[in-house]
Amino acid sequence: MGWFNKAIMNYHVNPKRERKIEQERIEKERMRRLMAEDEEGYRKFIDQKKDKRLAFLLLQTDKCIDNLTEMVQQQKNRKNDEEQGKRMVLKSGDIHHLDIDCEAYDCRVTVVEMAFDKTIAGDDVPFSRDLYNLLQNHSGWKYVISDNDDDDGDSVR
């Protein structure tokens, strides 16, 4: 009778052990894909496992990344527009008519002292709103248009 009880116990213990081993294998596979940065395989694995919590977190993460990417692109576009406005104002030579609403009004403009070829850089660079007065008070100074689109590089005015 003892051997019969032992056989019944083994019958019930084996499936539990097999389920535990299978769960450990699945968890190891998930971690392996995650550590291997196999995003596509990881997502398929999550879908197969029907883990709604992880799938939801991945979806939310994707939305956040998309939003951040869009915001960075918008910021780059705004920055490029401001730089383009600054270049257009400086190229036109109409610096004494800068309007407060102009995008180039608060931009910094590189200036060069022509006699000694000294360039003001960093935080000492004047704002375009102050450029006209600076050039009137310092006759040997000229402003530099830094335009990455031109083939000839920087041009001095």
Q: Which 8-state DSSP code applies to residue 108? A: B
Average pLDDT rounded to a whole number, residues 44-70: 82
Name the token pair of 102.
């102009």
pLDDT band of 68, cuts 50, 70, 90: very high
Q: How far is it, in rounded angstroms, from Cα 65 to Cα 42?
A: 18
Determine what percent of the chain is predicted with pLDDT higher than 70.
54
| 145 beta partners | 155
Q: pTM for the whole thing? A: 0.42
Q: Which 8-state DSSP code applies to residue 151? A: T
Q: Any residues with CB less than 8 A from the CB of 91 and at least 6 apart, and which?
A: 145, 147
pLDDT of res. 152: 37
Helix H or strand E segment including 119: strand 118-120
pLDDT of residue 18 exceeding 80, the answer is yes
Q: Which of 49-58, 65-74, 94-103, 116-125 has the highest mean pLDDT?
A: 65-74
Q: What is the pLDDT of residues 77-125, one digit of tens each?
A: 988 887 776 666 666 665 555 555 555 555 666 777 667 777 776 666 6
pLDDT of res. 102: 54
**Domains within the chain, CATH numbers bracketed:** 2-74 (no CATH), 97-156 (3.40.5.120)
113 vs 6, higher pLDDT: 6
141: left (phi over 0), alpha (psi -120 to 50) or beta: beta
pLDDT of res. 58: 80
Average pLDDT rounded to a whole number, residues 69-77: 94
